[in-house]
Structure 1
Amino acid sequence: MRQLFSFPNPVNEISARVVAGGVVVLCVTAIALDQAWLSAVIAYGFLARVLTGPTLSPLGQLATRVITPWLGRPAKLVPGPPKRFAQGIGAVLSVSAAVLLLGFGLRPAGYVLLGLVTVAATLESVFAFCIGCKIFAGLMRLGVIPESTCEQCNDIWSRAGATATTP
C-alpha cells in the first residue's frame, strides 16, 4: 500500500509535459464546449497524480507508458517533490472548479479556475515552465519547505536536469 501512495523521484520531465498537454486539452474542451462534468475528470486526475504519481491516473499512464516512449526522446530527469507540489496546486484548483461547477452551478467562477489550470499547464507543456515548481523553490528559499524535503531542489532555477536513456 505504501508503494501505491508514492510519487516518483526523479520525474521524467518529458512525461510531465505530455500530461500537462493532456490537461490543457481537457480544460479547453470543458470550457469551450461547456462540459462542466469534465471538471470532475480533471480533478480526479490531479488527485490521483498527487497521491500516486502516474499509477492511478489514466492520463499519467498514457503519458508514461505510451506517448513518452513513442516520442523516443531521452528522459530528462527532474526532482519529484516540486512536481508533486505543482500537482497539489492543480488538485486544489480543479477540485474547487468541480465543486463550483457541479455543486453550485457557478459556471463563470468554475471556468475561471479551469482557465488558471489551463494557463499553468500550457506553460508546462509548451515551455517547460512549471509555476508550481517555481513556487516550491521560493518556499524552500524562505524556509517554509525544509531543504531535507528535496536536496536536489536547492538550486532548481539554475538546474539543467540530468538526462538518461530510459523514460
Structure 2
Amino acid sequence: MVDPRGPRFSAAVTSVVLTVVLLTANGWLLLAQTVVFLTGAVIGVRRAPYGVLYRTLVQPRLGPPAELEDDQPPRFAQAVGAVFGVLGTVGFLADVPALGYVATAFAFVAAFLNATIGFCLGCQIYLAIRSVKGAQA
C-alpha cells in the first residue's frame, strides 16, 4: 500500500526530467530515468529514488494521507514507462531521433497527466487488464 501522493510527486519529477530529455535529446539522461522506472517496477514505487525523496522530504510536511492505495497499478505504470524509456534511449543513442522523441513524448504525456490531474494512464491499463482477466476466469 502506498500514499497516492507519492506516485504523483514522482510523476512531477519525471515530467521535468522528460522535458529536459525532449529539449536536449539526451539519451543518457533518458537512460537514467529508465533506471528509475525499472527500480519502481521491480522493487516498488516507495523504494524507487523519487519515492524515497517523497517519503523523506515531502510527506513529513504533508501529514498522513487520507487513504492508501494498492502499489501494483503504479508498479505496472513504472514498467510501461520503462518500456518507453528503453525505446527512447535506444532511439537517441542509436541516432534514430524520431524513435527517441516519440517514445519519450508518450512517457512524458503519461507522467504529465498523473502529475497535473492525478490520472495514471498505466494504472488504468493495469486495471483494465485485470478486469478482462477476471471476466475470462
The structure carrying a bigger strand percent of its residues is 1
Greater alpha carbon shift after TM alignment, 33-42 vs 138-147:
138-147
- Segments of 5+ residues of structure 1 without an aligned counterpart are 1-9, 148-167
Identify the match of residue 112 of structure 2 among 119, 122, 130. 122
Instruction: Give the equivalent residue in structure 1 for 2:91.
Output: 100
**In 1: Cα distance, 2:135 partner to 2:51 partner:** 26
Structure 1 residues 140 and 113 mapped into 2: Cα distance closer, same or farther (>3 Å)? same
TM (norm. structure 2) is 0.89
Residue identity opposite 1:119 in structure 2: V
**In 2: Cα distance, 1:145 partner to 1:64 partner:** 37
Instruction: Give the equivalent residue in structure 1 for 2:52.
Output: 61
- The 3-state SS of whatever aligns with 1:77 is coil
CA contact (8 A) 1:49 1:87 kept: yes
- The 3-state SS of whatever aligns with 2:27 is coil
Identify the match of residue 37 of structure 1 among 25, 28, 33. 28
- The 3-state SS of whatever aligns with 2:68 is strand
CA contact (8 A) 2:25 2:92 kept: no
**In 1: Cα distance, 2:121 partner to 2:3 partner:** 17
Identify the match of residue 101 of structure 2 among 91, 108, 111. 111
| Structure 1 segments of 4+ aligned residues over 3 angstroms from their partners | 144-147
The structure carrying a bigger helix percent of its residues is 2
Report the alpha carbon displacement of residue 64 of structure 1 after superposing the two structures with TM: 2.0
The percent of aligned pairs where both chains have the same amino acid is: 28
Identify the match of residue 131 of structure 1 among 108, 121, 124. 121
**How many residues are paired up?**
135
Identify the match of residue 85 of structure 1 among 61, 76, 89. 76
Residue identity opposite 1:135 in structure 2: I
TM (norm. structure 1) is 0.74
Per-residue CA distance 1:37-92 (angstroms, 9 max, x = gap): 2111111100111111242x32221122112323x143241111111111111111
CA contact (8 A) 1:140 1:146 kept: no
**In 1: Cα distance, 2:54 partner to 2:136 partner:** 31
- Segments of 5+ residues of structure 2 without an aligned counterpart are none
Rg larger in 1 or in 2? Answer: 1
**In 2: Cα distance, 1:40 partner to 1:73 partner:** 33
The CA RMSD over aligned residues, in Å, is: 2.0
